[in-house]
C-alpha cells in the first residue's frame, strides 16, 4: 500500500496523505486533485478501490504497435496527457511479438465499455492485414480516430503527417547538396505511409525532371537490423544519399554504411523520418523529417472527444505538414564511382 501511495503521490505532485484521502473517499480534497489521483492510479496500473471505480465510460483505448520505436511512446505521452486533461483515462494497449494481438485488444476494450479508441499506427495501414476488428468497432458505433495514414476503406477520422511532402523535403534537401544517386528505404510494400512516401518521391522527381527507377527503391521491415540489411543493397548500387521512412531504418542504414567501410556523411548522406527521441544525440546527429507529434496527438484527442459528444468531425482527414531538421548525417555530395540515377 505504501509503495502505491508513494508512486501516485510522485506522479501527481501531491502528498501521500492526500492520495490516502482520495483512496479512502475522504473530504478535504479538490475535485481536480481527486481526478488527477484517480487518473494516475489507472495510468500506473493500480486497481482502484471498488467504491471509486465509477463510470467506465470515461475510459479511452490507446492502441500502439510497439514501444521499442521511441516515436510511439512520444505519441502515447502526448495523447495520454491530452485525454487526462479532458477527464478521460487512457487504457494503453501495446502489441508485441507472441503477445496480445490488436484484434484481442479490441475485444478487451469493448468488454471494458470504453468511450472510444485512438490507434497510433497499426494494422489499419497494412493492406494485407485483417481489418475485421475495425469493422466491428464501426458496426457498434464506437468513436475511433486513427493517427497516420490508413487504407482507403477505413471509415474513421484520421490525423496524419503528410507523407508525400516528407519524402519530397528529404529528396530536395539531398538534391541541393549535389546528390543525384539517391536511394529510398521504405517500410513494407503494403504499408500505406510508405506508399505515400514513394508517391511523393516520384512526384518530386517528375517536377524536377528526374526519374526514380525501381532499382533505387528498397522495402524493409521497420527495425534497425532490417534497415541495415536492406540499405546494403542501395550502398552496393552506388547511392550517395539514402532517404529513409523512419529513424530506425536510418540508424540501420548508418550501420550498413560503416559496415561497408564508408562514412556518414563523408561518403553517404542519410535522412530519417519522425525525429524521435535522441536523434540529435546519435553519431552523427541524424538529419530527419519531423512529425509534429504534439499538435497531431492533441488534434486526435479533440477529434475523438467531438465524436464521443455526438458531434460530426470537423474534417475526415487532418493533414499536418512535416519539417526537415538538418543535422550531421547529411552533407555536400562526394561523388562515388557508380551513379545509377536516371
Which residue has 530536395 as its cell numbers? 172
Whole-number Å distance between alpha carbons of 214 and 220: 14
Residue 50 predicted with pLDDT over 80: no
340 pLDDT more than 70? no
Under 8 Å CB-to-CB from 240, ≥6 apart: which residues? 179, 180, 181, 182, 267, 268, 269, 333, 334, 335, 336
CB half-sphere exposure, 298, CA atoms < 13 A = 4
The answer on 5 and 104 residing in a single domain is no
Determine phi and psi for 56, rounding to 5 degrees: -70, -10
pTM (predicted TM-score): 0.80
Select from 54, 76, 92 the last residue of a domain.
Answer: 54
Residues 156, 301 share a domain: yes
pLDDT at 341: 41
Asked if residue 248 and residue 171 are part of one domain, the reply reads: yes
| Predicted confidence (pLDDT) at residue 96 exceeds the cutoff of 80 | no
Q: Are 190 and 83 members of one domain?
A: no
Q: Are 277 and 68 in contact (CB under 8 A)?
A: no
pLDDT, tens only, 169-188 = 999 999 999 999 999 999 99
Mean pLDDT, range 44-59, rounded to an integer: 64
Q: Is residue 90 included in any domain, yes or no?
A: yes
Same domain? For 89 and 40 the reply is no
- Indicate whether 339 belongs to any domain: no
Find out whether 60 and 115 touch, Cβ atoms under 8 Å: yes
CB 323, CB 292: distance < 8 Å? yes
Whole-angstrom CA distances from 295 to 71, 161, 196 are 14, 10, 21
> Which pLDDT band holds residue 253 (cuts at 50, 70, 90)?
very high
Residue 112: which pLDDT band, with cuts at 50, 70 and 90?
confident
Same domain membership, residue 233 and residue 157? no
DSSP H helices in 177-277: 192-207, 224-237, 247-259
Q: Please indicate, yes or no, whether residues 156 and 120 belong to a single structural domain of this protein.
A: yes
The count of domains in the chain is 3
Q: Are residues 78 and 220 in the same domain?
A: no
145 domain residue, yes or no = yes
Residue 65 inside a domain? The answer is yes
pLDDT at 324 over 50: yes
Query: Could you tell me if 50 and 60 lie in one domain?
Result: no
CATH number at residue 10: 1.10.260.40
Instruction: State which residues form the domain around 10.
Output: 1-54
Q: Which DSSP category does 126 fall into? A: B
| 332 located within any domain | no
Asked if residue 204 is part of any domain, the answer here is: yes
pLDDT for 269-309, tens place per residue? 999 999 999 999 999 999 999 999 999 999 999 999 999 98
Residue 71: φ, ψ to 5°: -65, -30
Is position 328 within any domain? no
User: pLDDT digits over 190-238, tens only?
Assistant: 999 999 999 999 999 999 998 899 999 999 999 999 999 999 999 999 9
Q: Indicate if 127 and 175 belong to the same structural domain.
A: no
Measure the N-to-C terminal CA separation of the chain; round to a whole number of Å. Answer: 67
Cα–Cα distance measured from residue 331 to residue 287, given in angstroms and rounded to the nearest whole number? 10
29 and 126 fall within a common domain: no
Q: Which residues contact residue 204 at a Cβ distance below 8 angstroms, ignoring those fewer than 6 apart?
A: 167, 168, 171, 172
The answer to whether residues 175 and 283 belong to one domain is yes
Amino acid at each position: 500500500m505504501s509503495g502505491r501511495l508513494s508512486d501516485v503521490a510522485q506522479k501527481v505532485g501531491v502528498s501521500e496523505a492526500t492520495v490516502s484521502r482520495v483512496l479512502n473517499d475522504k473530504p478535504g480534497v479538490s475535485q481536480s486533485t481527486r481526478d488527477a489521483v484517480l487518473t494516475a492510479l489507472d495510468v500506473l496500473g493500480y486497481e482502484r478501490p471498488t467504491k471509486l471505480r465509477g463510470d467506465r465510460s470515461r475510459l479511452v483505448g490507446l492502441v500502439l504497435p510497439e514501444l521499442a520505436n521511441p516515436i510511439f511512446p512520444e505519441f502515447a505521452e502526448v495523447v495520454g496527457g491530452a485525454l487526462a486533461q479532458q477527464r478521460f483515462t487512457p487504457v494503453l494497449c501495446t502489441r508485441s511479438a507472441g503477445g496480445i494481438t490488436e484484434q484481442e485488444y479490441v475485444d478487451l476494450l469493448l468488454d471494458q465499455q470504453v468511450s472510444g479508441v485512438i490507434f497510433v499506427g497499426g494494422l489499419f495501414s497494412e493492406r494485407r492485414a485483417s481489418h475485421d476488428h475495425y469493422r466491428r468497432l464501426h458496426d457498434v458505433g464506437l468513436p475511433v480516430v486513427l493517427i497516420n495514414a490508413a487504407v482507403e476503406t477505413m471509415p474513421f477520422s484520421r490525423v496524419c503527417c503528410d507523407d508525400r511532402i516528407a519524402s519530397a523535403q528529404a529528396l530536395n534537401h539531398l538534391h541541393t547538396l549535389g546528390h543525384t544517386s539517391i536511394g529510398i528505404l521504405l517500410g513494407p510494400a503494403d504499408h500505406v505511409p510508405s506508399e505515400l512516401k514513394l508517391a511523393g518521391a516520384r512526384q518530386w522527381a517528375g517536377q524536377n525532371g528526374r526519374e526514380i527507377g525501381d532499382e533505387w527503391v528498397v522495402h524493409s521491415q521497420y527495425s534497425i537490423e532490417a534497415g541495415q540489411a536492406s540499405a546494403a543493397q542501395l550502398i552496393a548500387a552506388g547511392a550517395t544519399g539514402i532517404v529513409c521512412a523512419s529513424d530506425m531504418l536510418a540508424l540501420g542504414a548508418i550501420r550498413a554504411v560503416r559496415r561497408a567501410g564508408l562514412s556518414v556523411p563523408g561518403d553517404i548522406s542519410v535522412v530519417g523520418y519522425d525525429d524521435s527521441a535522441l536523434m540529435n544525440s546519435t553519431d552523427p546527429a541524424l538529419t530527419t523529417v519531423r512529425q509534429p507529434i504534439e499538435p497531431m496527438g492533441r488534434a486526435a484527442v479533440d477529434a475523438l472527444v467531438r465524436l464521443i459528444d455526438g458531434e460530426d468531425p470537423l474534417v475526415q482527414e487532418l493533414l499536418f505538414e512535416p519539417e526537415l531538421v538538418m543535422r550531421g548525417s547529411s552533407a555536400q555530395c562526394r561523388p562515388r564511382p557508380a551513379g545509377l540515377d536516371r
